[in-house]
Chains A and B, each alone.
Chain A
Amino acid sequence: QVQLVASGGGVVQPGRSLRLSCAASGFTLSSYGMHWVRQAPGKGLEWVALDGHDRYYADSVKGRFTIARDNSKNTLYLQMNSLRAEDTAVYYCARATYTTSFIFVDYWGEGTLVTVSS
């Protein structure tokens, strides 16, 4: 069955870097687009980045975050640089499915918490 396991979160000081990983199983990563979505404590969902036909970013992270993947390891990454307090959130990876008529996200990992604090 499809499984996404996000890891790499933790407590980091402002201005520092962190790399999140998302290990995919039960499907071939290279055949799908992949998103990162985050949720600040007590807040709603915020789209962060997409690795699909191209790479796309939210304005709030553009130039600081990089989405990438290693298809040989079936793993998605999010490299986060110049972290700010407002980046504190649970980060979810999610699988994008494209059909001839629809685009949607059908599977989500359980998330990894990133806390940016001095």
Chain B
Amino acid sequence: DIQMTQSPSSLSASVGDRVNITCRASQRIGNFVSWYYQKPGRAPKLLIYGASNLQSGVPSRFSGSGSGADFTLTISSLQPEDFAAYYCQQFYSTPNTFGQGTKLEIK
């Protein structure tokens, strides 16, 4: 099984900050990575697919990069609604494993 190691597990930041969240796969997986955000008590929402493609309707302050085994989600200027949990997921092979998650909190 492919392991997705996500870091950091938690992050404290301020409105307007630029933040990076990373996922490292245990083997090379091309660009078969998606990123989601999740508010408490709600379903996850797709932000990025194919490592760097912005899902329709998602603000342009979100971006994804990387290929192979190392991937990054960047939020260029944090907005109040961005404070949530973030997850990566790989689709290279089943099981389609998730990273452990990053909880983004207001400083």
Contact = CB atoms under 8 A, between A and B. Distances in A.
B91 A47 contact: no
Interface stretch (B10-18, B20-28, B47-55, B73-81): B47-55
B63 interface: no
Contacts of A110: 42-43
A102 B50 contact: yes
Contacts of A102: 31-32, 49-50, 53
A101 B53 CA distance: 11
Nearest to A35: B96
Contacts, number: 58
Q: How large is the interface on B (under 10, 10 to 19, 20 to 34, 35 or more residues)?
A: 20 to 34
Contacts of A106: 46, 49, 55
Nearest to A62: B95
B87 A45 contact: yes
B100 A44 contact: yes
B43 A104 contact: no
Contacts of A108: 43-45
Interface of B: 1, 31-32, 34, 36, 38, 42-46, 49-50, 53, 55, 85, 87, 89, 91, 94-101
Interface of A: 35, 44-47, 50, 56-59, 92, 101-111
